[in-house]
Chain A
Amino acid sequence: MAYQLQVNGTAFSIEASGDTALVDVLRDDLGLRGTKIGCGQGECGACSVMMGERVVCSCLTPVSRATLFPITTIEGICGQAVAHADADAAPASSRLHPIQQAFIDHGALQCGFCTPGMIVAAYALLNRGGRVTEDDVVEGLTGNLCRCTGYRKIIEAVLDAGERMQRHE
């Protein structure tokens, strides 16, 4: 069956059975492999993507549902860097979203496997606007597991990114 998807601002037509998980469509049909599979059961958050304004687990999203909203993956967040370019902190050519840059600057990643999902969840949190506290960060990233970092530097990075984004709003 054919499904029309909007992913990172581009329209795609996909041939798949309706119960195919969005994460498989993204990775195998569209070659967008930044979104990772950590558990396939919605329990680790590595597969997080944006459906509209909401962060979801793409491993549990059937492609029949994915047609309803524009989808943003980690690759799409990267592409939004131009609008958010933090002229103070990074050269214009870096083209990374402030959240991505903050993760690098704070050493908030080790193996990096959870990182795309973590950044997407942070993106969902920070895009709601307003000041964000440590409790908000914990709340917003509860669905994202990390085994390497102990989370402290991730919290620092997200708080810092929130401030960087506020400065440019």
Chain B
Amino acid sequence: MNSPVLEAGVALPGEAAAASNEVGKRVLQHGARGRVNGEAVYTQDVVLPGMLYAAVLRSTQAHALITAIDVEAALAAPGVRDVITAEDFPGIKYVHFGAKYSDRYPLANGRVRFIGEEVAVVAADTLAQARDAARLITVKYQPLPVLLTPEQAMAADAPDIHDGDLTAAGKNIAQLRDLDFGDVEGAFARAAHVFEGVYEHGVVVPACMETNGTVADYDPENQALTLWTATQAPHFIRKEVSHVLGIPIEKVHVRGVNVGGGFGGKSKVCEQEALAALLAVRTKRPVKLTLERTEEFLSGKTDHAKHMTVRTAIDAQGNILARSTSVVIDNGAYTALGPVYMAAARARTASLYRVGAAHFDSRIVYTNKVPGGQYRGMGAPHTIWAIESQIDEIAERLGIDPLAYRIQIANQSGDTNPLGWQIKSCALSECLAEVGERIGWDEKRRNPKPWRGVGVAAMIHPSAGVIYEEGNFSNTRIELGADGAYKLYTQTSDTGTWQNTVLAQLAANALGVASEEVTVCHMDTQNAPLDLGSAASRVTFVTGNAAIRAAKALREKLAGHLAQLWECDAADIVLASRTAFDANNPARRVDLGEYVAEYGAQVCDGYYSVPTKRPDPDTGYGNYAATYTFGAQAVEVEVDPTTGRIKILQIVAAQDVGKAINPTAIEGQMQGGILQGIGMVLQEELVYEDNRPVNANFLNYKIPRIGDAPPIEVVIIESPEEDGPFGAKAAGEPSINATLAAVANAVAHATGIRFHKLPLTADRVLAELKKREGAKLDFKPLKRPYNVHVATVRSMYPAIVFPALRKVGTKFARQRRKGQRPEVLVANDLQEALRELAVAGRKAKILAGGTDLFVGIKQNVYDLDLLIDISRIEELQGVRIDNGMLCLGARSLLAEVSDSDIVQRALPMLAQGIRRIATPQIRNMATVAGDLCQEKRCWFFRSDLPCYQHGGATCPCFAVMGDSRHHSIIGAGRCAAPCPADLAPILTALDARVVAVSRQGVRHIPMEEFYQWSGLTTLRADEVLHRIEVPLVENATHAFEKYAIRKGDFAEASVAVRLRWQAERLVDARISLGAVSPLPIRATEAEQHLMLHGLSASSIKEAAARTIYGGLPLPGNHHKGYLLIELAQRALHGAAGRQ
């Protein structure tokens, strides 16, 4: 088929050129103005008179019975208007997937099943009051065994996470499906080759920039409930809220707001809607409940982790005779859309490429983790990764080029696959050929540069999935109003997808007007007729068709009436901007505003139902969607063998979209989806430790930053789908589907390693590369005699120390106050600050930039009564040279120091090093003193776990047995948290000293005596850090090398160097290591080696190898040794080269 290819960035070649035809044009986003000027209202911006604020008390237990809840103290707290628990609801569970899958109450009912589950909610006059009161609620838990993985949950002796017949399919199995399509056994029996592989991955999350939230307002007179809520599906919100509250659905309405991203994370009811609603009903005041980011990570629905065993049978030519897939899906604690997710993921296993027969056995298993929901692709990204990894292996075995092989087995228009999917429009082969050509496949595949590789993958995606029990239809309503312009009402929701712009284009086209005449009013269930919402890639297709019908009906109505009035042909009536006229006699025209004034607003509804039947509920056979979208992506990567970092050099993505209604919209969606895919494959995963995610923040859950965005070339291919509006099919959601596979295949080409577990984080890649090399790290731990003790204790951790301390020792933990809100006192001069610090019986700290303090207070790592703001104290500020010393005032901003001409001239390494710290915002707020003094960033410590640092000697260090990838490899003892400050190794290498002032006098503290431990300096409680003094020495060269996962992150490892020379001779070497030990340390063995042997390449190599001496890594951070050696080499070469 000859499908036209649309060049990215270029308008469609000449089509129906009528001014009113904007289908296919790059129409600018409707509503963009409000979003760029700050006027757009999101749920968090909704304010109603008398509004209360709600805060949720969440479970701290992963699996436990609730034996008592006492809310009395909370009810009595200032500003509190109401507190609710499960018994305040009518005792009805959410419908969710219905019938036997209905397993969740709005609030934990006698039992909690994951850390973060909602137990109680407080409504108060202010958010602070609500949060303070929530902390006063006491809950008594009786812990039950925790089942964190499906494997644990399916064990014969595992307790049931849910009771009754919810899990009739097996222990903690919410659903089990064993399906055959065609003669699978026969196919495997006669196969020429059989391939088998296991592929697995953890939990990833949508991470929308806007968290979940709801404002609920109850009108007692009409008994009507109104919700402003961040959702993709107002219909399901109404349905579920009315269900669990026992309010008739006609009395529950959702209003329109801007929504900050959905990606499936907001596509069904969440939890906050019903909670806010009940509080509104009870208090008769509006109630706002918005989630904090940590809460979003803890309770927002995730993607489902999966364990997939894939078997493929091929004949001698490579035709796929059958595929058999076994999938275990992690459900989390409750079933949201679990069975649908399972069907979706499973369907991808045998629908991409021509497959003769298919078998699935899949089970979705309850675990004590946050429930899984939908995330873009519905399991396709990871499923396709598994399939496509194996396709590469098959091609290799057959000796066929992987791209050519895929084209050989590509789906074709007219196919019916073994699942019963009828492929109508299909340009998969074209997509594959396009991306291959544009990336330069042949040359790069055959002659890759060292450590570079190219990979390709394809995708199939159900466009307008027919998954809803309610059917798959849309109603829209279009109205000509008093302003002479049009409003299109839809219950779908534009969460950033540009659907409202596309719908406007479609409706406008049907009317014959410019799209700016049509305003799409989304989400409002009072004004819009029923639609199932924005999910399952249905809106362009289903709602779009309905919008066209509504618009056509309105046009007919208007034209018909005007034709009657003017006695002309309806076909001659032209609708233009705010007017209508007779094409044959343009003097006959009417202002549409006046028309409405006379005849009233004109309203028409449009209905469209997908003609496709749903698959058979028992056999699963039949079409999964109205139509299918195809695509392919080719990726070129470069792997750094010294760090394991995978750099994506370029991506070419081609998508067969049927028809591009708005090319700019599609490009944006494709670029966005691809970057989400990059996050999924390289760096995103929820890290579970002690039964909870310990990276529940954007610092450690690493979604891609702007620096991670590679060049993406987008190719839009149009192969019209006859039922789609103008031939369009889904284009937005599926761009993520092929990315993981394409990247992984490119990595396999570059390294020869095929990974079976995602994500491909740099530390895992590095460890694997080194293993293959047979490389070994020589830490020489005995160089630090204390390591013997540490190693001994660590060896006893699994069997004795950790269980004992975790279970028993933590009961004796130091009592900590939490949720303190310290006062702020602005000190006008240094004496005042010192006076205040010296006041006994009060926990006070200096407030400089606040970037560490305020985060730490929120995370309960600081417990303070008073913050002393030093931002007015002149003498603590400024950069100057004094007696051969560069003096940095303690509260000088990092940005001020790096911007300073003095610093850039005198010590460029310092300026450059600072510019690698964090982000522009943080550097504009944080101070040099603050950077040095900041608290540990250990994720156990920051997740409020009862560790040694929080609780004292009876508490364990969680890093010993837990995920220690970010922790210390040298010098850890009872605590393994590294010092995160970049200035620590830099200033140590520079031989700087800290000047501390108290009422007793002045102390000069060399950097090497400044730290007791990470987050703990040798400053006394009554001392203020006054300034940092850096000696300016002659004939010195410097370097600073830092490795971080993303630009803007804390270091995983860093090395700072200062070399002093006399002519060509090295007379002094200072090498300081950062982020690998609890305090910055000097690599003295390395230094000595350089002094003895100079700075030849081999000497530098030897010296670098010595930087890890005395190290005792943990099982998870061995790789930091390689990083350190590599960074040391780079730094030493850099400093030597500057000589």
Residues of A within 8 A of B (CB): 17-19, 21, 27, 32-46, 48, 51, 54-57, 60-62, 64-65, 68, 73-75, 78, 96, 100-101, 103-105, 107, 109-116, 119, 121, 124-125, 137-155
Q: Which residues of A contact B850 (CB under 8 A)?
A: 60-62, 65
Interface flag for B698 (CB, 8 Å): yes
A152 to B708, CA, bound (A): 10
* A-B contact sample (15 more), CB < 8 A, given A38-B293, A121-B921: A21-B854, A41-B699, A42-B854, A43-B698, A61-B925, A62-B854, A110-B672, A111-B210, A142-B919, A143-B920, A145-B209, A147-B209, A148-B496, A149-B672, A150-B712
A18 to B921, CA, bound (A): 21
A35 to B42, CA, bound (A): 11
Interface flag for B664 (CB, 8 Å): yes
21 A-B pairs with C-beta separation under 8 A: A18-B823, A21-B854, A35-B38, A38-B211, A42-B921, A62-B850, A62-B869, A101-B36, A110-B261, A110-B496, A110-B497, A110-B672, A112-B260, A113-B208, A113-B261, A115-B36, A138-B1047, A147-B261, A150-B712, A151-B706, A154-B706
Which of B26-34, B342-350, B435-443, B1077-1085 lies on the face that meets chain A?
A: B26-34
Partner of B858, one of A38, A41, A74: A41
Partner of B919, one of A35, A51, A112, A143: A143
In contact, B210 and A153 (Cβ under 8 angstroms) = no
A150 to B704, CA, bound (A): 8
A57 to B925, CA, bound (A): 8
- 3 closest A-B pairs by beta carbon, nearest first, are A34-B38, A18-B824, A111-B496
Interface flag for B35 (CB, 8 Å): yes
Using a Cβ–Cβ cut-off of 8 Å, how many residues does chain B contribute to the interface with A?
Answer: 85
In contact, A19 and B824 (Cβ under 8 angstroms) = yes
Partner of A17, one of B32, B821, B855: B821
In contact, B292 and A145 (Cβ under 8 angstroms) = no
In contact, A18 and B38 (Cβ under 8 angstroms) = no
Interface flag for B467 (CB, 8 Å): no
Residues of B within 8 A of A (CB): 26, 28-29, 31-42, 44-45, 206-211, 258-263, 292-293, 495-498, 664-665, 667-676, 697-699, 703-707, 709, 711-712, 821-826, 847, 849-851, 854-855, 858, 867, 869, 871, 893, 895, 918-922, 924-925, 1047-1048
Chain A min CB distance to B815 (Å): 23
Do A116 and B38 form a contact, CB below 8 Å, given A17-B824, A65-B871? yes
A39 to B672, CA, bound (A): 20
Q: Which residues of B contact A114 (CB under 8 A)?
A: 209
A43 to B1049, CA, bound (A): 10
Do A104 and B28 form a contact, CB below 8 Å, given A57-B921, A111-B208, A119-B36? yes
Closest to B678 in A: A150
In contact, B921 and A104 (Cβ under 8 angstroms) = no
Residue among B671, B699, B821 with max Cβ neighbours from chain A (10 Å): B671
Chain B min CB distance to A100 (Å): 4
Do A145 and B705 form a contact, CB below 8 Å, given A19-B821, A38-B293? yes
Partner of B209, one of A61, A105, A113, A139: A113
In contact, B925 and A56 (Cβ under 8 angstroms) = yes
Chain B min CB distance to A63 (Å): 9
Closest to A135 in B: B707
Closest to B663 in A: A107
A151 to B675, CA, bound (A): 9
A152 to B712, CA, bound (A): 8
Q: Which residues of A contact B31 (CB under 8 A)?
A: 112
Partner of A107, one of B210, B668, B921: B668
In contact, B37 and A155 (Cβ under 8 angstroms) = no
In contact, A78 and B706 (Cβ under 8 angstroms) = no
Partner of A19, one of B35, B263, B709, B822: B822
Do A60 and B855 form a contact, CB below 8 Å, given A54-B924, A149-B672, A151-B709? yes
In contact, B261 and A56 (Cβ under 8 angstroms) = no
Q: Which residues of B contact A155 (CB under 8 A)?
A: 706, 709
Chain B min CB distance to A162 (Å): 15
A38 to B698, CA, bound (A): 10
